[in-house]
Amino acid sequence: MSLQVAAPRTVRASSKEVHHVRLGVRADIPELLAMGHELHAENAMMPLSESKIVAAAGRAIRQDRAMVGCIGPVGGILEGMIYLTIGQFWYTDVYHLEELYSFVRPEFRRSRRAEALVRFAMKSSERLHVPLLIGVISNWRTEAKVRMYERLLGKRAGAFFLYNGKTGS
């Protein structure tokens, strides 16, 4: 399945705020790497691999069964990002869209940026005509994040548990 589709260009998060979520481009790689470090420090379960972050960013920029939605100017400071990939469950040949991460830098929180990123994922799912698998794996402000996801997406479909590990540094 190709991701060579027109991604949503402007996502309205509310009647008061509009945050432009655009597809990531090669000039964003340094910021994607920097934000990857920030996301890792806040929420990771395993050691960081810069080469994996750069490889994932390249895959998304090439739209090789992945995409990254970015809030912020091309080549400038990014405020938020969401990484989506095409996947399949072990029991089917049917594809779905998976969110691997969604992150808004702390100084840009208390806004509708996270909502805009989720809406970008929803629009991408609609344009690709595939279901969206998206969720929260975090132990920080989890309830607030879940409430936002339920407000936008409807009733949750399950839960995740982490045994013998922790999120964050």
In this structure, is residue 59 part of a structural domain? yes
Overall number of domains in the chain: 1
Q: Give residue 164's pLDDT.
A: 80
Q: What stretches of the chain show up as alpha helix (H) in DSSP?
A: 29-43, 50-61, 113-128, 142-153
Provide the whole-model pTM.
Answer: 0.87
User: Which CA distances in Å does 64 have to 4, 47, 129?
Assistant: 9, 25, 17
In this structure, is residue 162 part of a structural domain? no
Q: Give residue 168's pLDDT.
A: 72
Q: Give residue 5's pLDDT.
A: 47
In this structure, is residue 166 part of a structural domain? no
Strand-strand pairing, 132-133 and 18-19 = unpaired
Q: Give residue 169's pLDDT.
A: 56
Q: Give residue 149's pLDDT.
A: 81
Domain that holds residue 68: 11-153
Q: Give residue 152's pLDDT.
A: 87
Q: Give residue 167's pLDDT.
A: 78
- Rounded mean pLDDT for each run of 10 residues along the chain, 169 residues in total: 51 65 96 95 90 96 96 95 96 96 94 94 96 81 78 84 75
In this structure, is residue 165 part of a structural domain? no
